[in-house]
Structure 1
């Protein structure tokens, strides 16, 4: 049975996590996402297993302890307030997240082979890209893009789409390995919408029987993209849209290579 691809808020909750998507739940091999809410003064231990993880504050700050090191994350007031610092946590480790003031924290993960060292990612070093123009303008925060931060398989970025604008446009895909053209990557979208607004997200099939989603998305929702042309993501007027993209795949090279849908022009949008 094919997994459900649009997961409204609460439907992917498990244990302490408001969102818990692992390869078994998604029906694929690599990409994972957890979203953890911590009350003031609370802490959460977790084993990384066969995956590498990035702890990314969505709201608030925290301390991440792993391999005898404590990384203090200042975090941010909200995802709409700008970039944040983050922590890389390697596979085969025991880690703890603790927050004095409380907050919400994303754990973006990917099954991997190499055990890289735990590291702190400073907010000022996050590359911020203005992508597209006009009603397709958006901000991309490339905190763990393939060319910005070293991971074994994990690729993760944040996107801010102003109210009324389209992003993830033109529709694009990365579901097959074509050297120099396209990399095979599983992808998770996790959404937050400013002021309890809404948006829309589209995934259209790139092959017979492939992924097909047209979803109204709200804060806390997730969409799985195992294959297919994905985009646009549309923000309702007056409500800024945030999404976190988590990607990983089987390729020998950690790279983000995509192909745009041939029926959509790309000039000024991508």
Structure 2
């Protein structure tokens, strides 16, 4: 059976802590075609990305990043950590060579998707990126929508960050986007890249920050994921119902989502698992978690 879960370090490649689905990724996944993700911890040597037919977004995870595209230098103002607030990001379009640098120890992600249509390189500042508080009660979460169709002109992918406070569930109710139904659902692969932290009020002995992710079959195609996740772990969702992503009490959760597919429309249209979709109706009577947004 195809592996859909990649613990931190299991898909490393040269200077990249993680490299899955990109044009040069050494780790291959059967049937994975539409999305890619790289992460890295910078050293004193720049990282380079070749000019190929994929579009990219560069996302600082911790620290500031400098990127050079077409001879122009872009300085991305980052953050102390993904839990400290939003970040500047850089969309580079297709057939663009990129050189990335920063102080040693700076961490970054590069989301990608094979693409053909050309859109201009664009710096999206942390002030510009739409911030959404989604759900309510213990389904409250924060979504940073810098790479969604409403915020970014792009060819194929949809990219966002989701942050879930300790004790809450996100990616809930379980939903899918694995077939094309005009106006109802779009077929999208999805990458979940996780980071977790112990809540700031936890005692010193609390060090093992964990979360959980669930993926299960929506049709005859088999998939059954119910796994612990920690910082640097990745879960791939090729199809099927997915959710919840659970942040246990004591541990906050972050994930970076990268979605793209073969359909004619760049849009995130989903179907809820009919057994659990009713949960949305309860949110009207509940308040959004007061701990959101992170880093305010």
- Which bin holds the TM-score, normalised by the shorter protein? over 0.9
Unaligned runs of 5+ in 1: none
- In the alignment, which of 226, 249, 256 is matched to residue 268 of structure 2? 256
Deviation per CA, 1:118-148: give whole Å up to 9, x if none: 1111110111111111111110111101221
Is the Cα–Cα contact under 8 Å of residues 41 and 104 in structure 2 kept in the other structure? no
CA distance in 2, matches of 1:259, 1:67: 41
SS of residue matched to 1:158 = strand
State the structure with more CA Rg: 2
SS of residue matched to 1:80 = helix
Q: TM-score, normalising length from structure 2?
A: 0.87
The reply to whether residue 107 of structure 1 matches residue 107 of structure 2 is no
- In the alignment, which of 238, 246, 267 is matched to residue 250 of structure 2? 238
Unaligned runs of 5+ in 2: 199-207, 285-296
Partner of 2:14 in structure 1?
15
CA distance in 2, matches of 1:165, 1:257: 23
Deviation per CA, 1:139-170: give whole Å up to 9, x if none: 01111012211111010010000001100000
The reply to whether residue 76 of structure 1 matches residue 79 of structure 2 is yes
Partner of 1:34 in structure 2?
38
Q: Identify, as 1 or 2, the structure richer in strand.
A: 1
CA distance in 2, matches of 1:228, 1:209: 8
CA distance in 1, matches of 2:138, 2:85: 21
Q: TM-score, normalising length from structure 1?
A: 0.95
CA distance in 1, matches of 2:10, 2:105: 23
The alignment yields a C-alpha RMSD, in angstroms, of 1.5
The reply to whether residue 132 of structure 1 matches residue 135 of structure 2 is yes
CA distance in 2, matches of 1:96, 1:35: 14
The reply to whether residue 166 of structure 1 matches residue 169 of structure 2 is yes
CA distance in 2, matches of 1:105, 1:36: 6
CA distance in 2, matches of 1:76, 1:142: 17
Partner of 2:96 in structure 1?
93
